[in-house]
């Protein structure tokens, strides 16, 4: 794609995704999203539902504890035990596996078991868990996902705006009007880079407009007498300083756009996070919520 051609411009979909989901802030956000999704999938798989099925119409029978064994898990420094029991329902013996935190039950001890009359192999031992962990533990892992969304969504919206302007906006040049330090720094390879706030001024249809942006790569906005500005000709206040958006394609002297291998690599974390969330986290959450 030649960026200096008149809009609308065409850009392969994969390159559009690179623009929308790229950048350091999004990378950090997607790391938290992947970790949160993975934790919820792992712990949710071994947690009992928060909203349990309605067992009011289930039959209650007496079961006998046949085996107790310590699991490899603990909760609040208390051992979690696996309790294996047998119960008799309509002349057939079934097995129930439950879990208990703290002291185990004694072998041979009688316990009450609720049995699903429509599926007698489905049962719940009263006072025991159906899985090693309580489903509430998943709630304490949700801040990972919530925090990640606070990083991902605002940055993705900013990048989406830049993508739209790249396809439908017009290029012009702006002069530096103001540069001021912020209280933010970014550390890369143990080197701290201060983030600066820039204001550029450009003219369109005889009127002056301002473009605002922040970056820790100040040299990219100070290497030319006038910097590239992308703006919406219908609403020039909607604009971006081209070099202040780290995910934008590089432009050669002929105006051709190219994306680096790193730009394509930026899609790896979002792809992993979305796959984890769709195929593992969502089904686990639905099970925990009784859906």
Mind listing the pLDDT tens digit for each residue in 207-223? 999 999 988 888 888 88
pLDDT of 56 above 90? no
Question: How far, in Å, CA of 83 to CA of 104, rounded?
Answer: 8
Specify the pLDDT at position 291: 64
Domain boundaries, the chain: 13-28+145-271, 59-133
Taking the model in full, what pTM does it have? 0.73
pLDDT in tens, 100-139: 988 888 899 999 999 999 999 989 888 888 888 877 777 7
What percent of the chain is modeled with pLDDT above 70?
A: 96
DSSP one-letter code for 2: B
- Note the Cα 266 to chain centre separation in Å: 14
Q: Write the secondary structure of 220-274 as one string of H (helix), E (strand) and C (coil).
A: HHCCCCCEEEEECCCCCCCEEEHHHCCCCCEECCCCEEECCHHHHHCCHHHHHHH
Count of C-beta atoms within a 10 Å radius of residue 287: 17
DSSP one-letter code for 105: P
pLDDT in tens, 139-151: 777 788 889 999 9
Which tokens go with 26?
Answer: 């999004």
Give the burial class of 119: count Cβ atoms within 10 A of its Cβ; 0-12 exposed, 13-18 middle, 19 or more buried: exposed
Q: For the residues 172-196, what does the mean pLDDT come to?
A: 89
Residue by residue, DSSP assigns 125-192 as ETTSBSSSB-THHHHTTHHHHHHHHHHHHHHHHHHHHHHHHHHH-EEEEEEEEEEEEEEEEEEETTEE
Question: How far, in Å, CA of 175 to CA of 227, rounded?
Answer: 7
pLDDT in tens, 226-244: 999 999 999 999 999 998 8
pLDDT of 152 above 90? yes
DSSP one-letter code for 5: S
Which tokens go with 161?
Answer: 């705006």
Q: φ, ψ for residue 16 (rounded to 5)?
A: -65, -40
């Amino acid at each position: 794609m030649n960026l200096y051609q008149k809009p609308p411009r065409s850009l392969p979909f994969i390159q559009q995704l690179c623009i929308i989901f790229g950048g350091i802030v999004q990378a950090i956000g997607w790391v938290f999203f992947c970790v949160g999704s993975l934790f919820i999938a792992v712990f949710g798989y071994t947690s009992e539902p928060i909203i349990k099925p309605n067992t009011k119409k289930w039959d209650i029978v007496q079961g006998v504890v046949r085996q107790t064994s310590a699991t490899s898990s603990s909760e609040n420094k208390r051992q979690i035990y696996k309790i294996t029991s047998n119960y008799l329902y309509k002349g057939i013996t079934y097995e129930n596996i439950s879990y208990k935190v703290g002291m185990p039950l004694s072998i041979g001890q009688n316990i009450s078991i609720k049995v699903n009359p429509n599926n007698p192999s489905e049962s719940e031992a009263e006072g025991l868990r159906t899985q090693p962990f309580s489903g509430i533990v998943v709630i304490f892992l949700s801040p990972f996902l919530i925090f990640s969304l606070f990083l991902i969504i605002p940055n993705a919206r900013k990048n989406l705006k830049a993508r739209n302007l790249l396809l439908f906006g017009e290029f012009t040049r702006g002069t530096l009007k103001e540069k001021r330090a912020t209280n933010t720094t970014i550390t890369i390879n143990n080197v701290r880079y201060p983030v600066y706030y820039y204001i550029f001024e450009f003219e369109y249809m005889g009127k002056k407009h301002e473009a605002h942006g922040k970056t820790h790569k100040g040299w990219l906005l100070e290497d030319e007498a006038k910097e590239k500005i992308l703006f919406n000709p219908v609403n020039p206040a909607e604009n971006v300083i081209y070099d202040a958006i780290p995910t934008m394609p590089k432009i050669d002297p002929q105006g051709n756009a190219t994306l680096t291998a790193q730009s394509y690599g930026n899609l790896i974390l979002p792809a992993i996070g979305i796959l984890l969330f769709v195929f593992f986290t969502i089904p686990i959450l639905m099970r925990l919520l009784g859906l």
